[in-house]
Amino acid sequence: MSNSQPISSTVYILNIEPGYEGQRIDNFLINHLKGVPKSLVYRILRRGEVRVNKGRIKANYRLQVGDQVRVPPVRMAEKDEPGRVDSRQLDRLEKAIIFEDKRLLVLNKPSGVAVHGGSGLSFGVIEALRQLRPEEHQLELVHRLDRETSGCLLIAKRRSALRTLHELMRSNGIDKRYITLVKGHWRRDRVEVDAPLLKNTLQGGERVVVVDPRGKESVTRFSIRERMGNFLLIEARLMTGRTHQIRVHAAHLGTPILGDEKYGDAAANREAKELGLRRLFLHAETLRFRWPDEKQDLVFRAPLEPVLDELLTRIRAKAS
């Protein structure tokens, strides 16, 4: 088939290492066979082509350390594979690491860098980190940030850590705070936006998110950090984690984020550009959570890029 390529042309065996125990075999295969349709994964499971310790298993089988998983030949659609990341970009990301231990890594992700490569992008954060840490075989993104958003990004170094962090996210146990800059006036210092969000795809294929009663529940708590003339420096706390949530909720209030080409105001963006803004002013500033059975919170803070600090200095001077 001209439009497909084999992941493997022969049967091969995977030995399950510590960190993968307890994971369902279907989820394990979906993650391992990246790009293969889920329907195909379930088909090879139903047909008994996937075997564990030489025996047939069901899709809900949970893996154990030492299991030997037989994986049959499968094919996947061709896709752009991210290339090797050059040393300059690797050095930039190495310097952006703000915390690392045996369980996790926290990166102050630069604006303009995607979390994943592919789709025309030469590389993403996760591919670069796997190149930086070749000895770490279980690096996975815990959550995502938009390409133009900077700040705290969590990466798990163990499957067990990934499960723990995902459970904390599901139970709202991770406090995520962003800072952003808007133009306009609010009468109150604190505003909670509870507006459901729905993903739409436009005719040209561009994905946008809109406030719509048919959408998923979405809650953002905004508070003003500083008033600077016609500009407001805002803290946003995510109570849910929807695509483009802060950007759409800020626009819903009538004060879209400066530098936002998708949901923003063209005139306000032009004014901000004249002051030196060349990117989306949205930064994931802090993450706070408590690891199960530990007594103290873990708190991570990512400083603003110097260009954003300099912009704020100019705005303050203009407003005084």
How does 297-319 read in b/e, with b if 16+ C-beta sit within 10 Å? ebebebebbeebeebbeebeeee
184: left (phi over 0), alpha (psi -120 to 50) or beta: left
Q: 41 burial class (0-12, 13-18, 19+ CB within 10 angstroms)?
A: buried
Nearest residue to 232 via CA among 278, 287, 188, 279? 188
Selected catalytic residue, list 146, 212, 265, 297: 146
Q: Which contiguous run of DSSP H or E holds residue 97?
A: strand 97-100
CA angle 23, 14, 64 (to 5 degrees): 35
**What are the distances in angstroms from CA 310 to CA 162, 240, 302?**
36, 31, 16
Spatial CB neighbours of 216, under 8 Å, sequence gap ≥ 6: 196, 197, 198, 240, 242
Q: At what angle do helices 25-32 and 38-46 cross, to 10 degrees?
A: 130
Separation between Cα atoms, residue 41 and residue 229, nearest integer Å: 57
Helix, strand, or coil here: 215?
Answer: coil
Catalytic site includes residue 309: no
Nearest residue to 81 via CA among 128, 134, 53, 118? 118
Q: What is the largest CA-CA distance in the chain?
A: 75
Backbone angles phi, psi at 211, to 5 degrees: -75, 125
Helix, strand, or coil here: 65?
Answer: coil
Q: Are 165 and 159 in contact (CB under 8 A)?
A: no
- Which residues does the annotation mark as catalytic? 146
